[in-house]
Structure 1
Amino acid sequence: MNNLVFIENDRVVTDSLTVAAVFGKEHRNVLADIENQISKLNEAGETEWGVLNFQQTQYQHPQNKQWYKKYYLTEEAFTLVAFSYITPEAMKMKVKFIQEFKRMKEELQKQISQPKSQAEMLLIYAQQFVEQERKLKVLEIETQKHSSRIEQIENKIEKRMTDEFMMQLVTPTQIGKMFEPALSGKKVNKLLQKAGFQWRVGGEWVATVEGKKYSSSEPIQLPDGKMTYQLKWQRRVKDLIQSEV
């Protein structure tokens, strides 16, 4: 049981292989448990905490000599992963892990308190610098990914709002006010006719087959109380008839 926890880069850790062996699980299932926790941490905005407490690395299989993924886990990371292991035997093993973490932390503290040569100190500082650079690089990549996702979402929202705005129905008079200088409703109706979007039938404007793609016949009440229909057009029609001006 003395190998449950060990010191790696001046940190007290265990690894996914040890967790799998002690709890009687397949290593791939422990990896899945770890990566599930990392995913939840990312969703909760705790990416930095995950990077600091879960360190992905590799090990060489003693038989086929191939390299495979594993993770180093701090005590906090181990606690998260092992939280769901609740059989009586698993609870005993968790207690042993916690005891080993405490013992190894005390051992590490003794090592740190011992005087070191200048060469050893320089090596430690160099290792810490490299590790910090690695962590910063990981965080930078994660930040870029999040920024890219946010930009994509913003672009989609902007496009949707623009599309919805351009699909809104307005009268020819309102379309005319979009031009510079403004055009009258009669002029816009003529442009719509010229573009092949409507024609005059019995004194009323009726949408052509092409015009029906961009219009709707809306009921309106006249001052004398009678009901009639008026063609309203999507805002984007303004750009379609621009060339007819």
Structure 2
Amino acid sequence: MNQLMKADVQMTSLDIAEIVGKEHKNVMRDIRNEIESLGSEIGQLIFEQSSYINSQNKEQPCYKFGKDGAMQLALKYDAVTRFKVIKRIEELEANQQQPQFNLPSTFKEALIMLAESVDENDKLKQQIENDRQKVVLANAITTSDEGLLIEGAAKYMRQNGVNIGRDRLFKWLRGQGYLVSRRGREYNMPTQKSLNQGLMKIHAQQYFDSEGELKVNRQVVVTGKGLMFFINKFLHDGQLTLPLNI
């Protein structure tokens, strides 16, 4: 039978330094800052400490990570650099998709193997195209200063494999401490944790009511970084269980 080898791409901070044209020590600093922003529990799952031997035959520290880590770092840089990182990921994924064949012993087995090969190649092409579209869409949103309201965030998450709606997302965010759950003026507003991590922000719009009094309408906005963060938690951590009595 024809089988495709599938594994997560593996990159290091040295690879990123080469791609972005920065000194390795500066990329190491970027990664440490990212781990601090994500929180050590999440950050250390994405970025793993490692080492390498330099040209002076000395062991030096570095980080290694998969596609998630590479994309997380890419979001810190400009559009051209993000494009270079994404292209490198695509190259690594293409190199990993090496078919292994067992030679058929009969003409019938050869025909079956050929049919399976065509089917798998079609599926692979479709998966690559789907991934490419998701990367382009994620890139477009994460580079936007505006972000998305909760309803738009829920729609975007559904497009990326998370079965969730507006109201359910509000409940989950309150239950996980990303939105204020205490009834009052700050109800459903981002907590300090969300603001500090850059996952959400408050969009304030001034307007005059029917009596001519100046009012302020505040809306919760999920940032591009927040979208990637929450989708990763839902898809990889399975954190879609809603708390009770919210």
Could you state the TM-score of these two structures normalised by the residue count of structure 2? 0.35
Could you state the TM-score of these two structures normalised by the residue count of structure 1? 0.35
RCO comparison, higher one (Cα < 8 Å, 6+) = 2
* Structure with the largest fraction of helix: 1
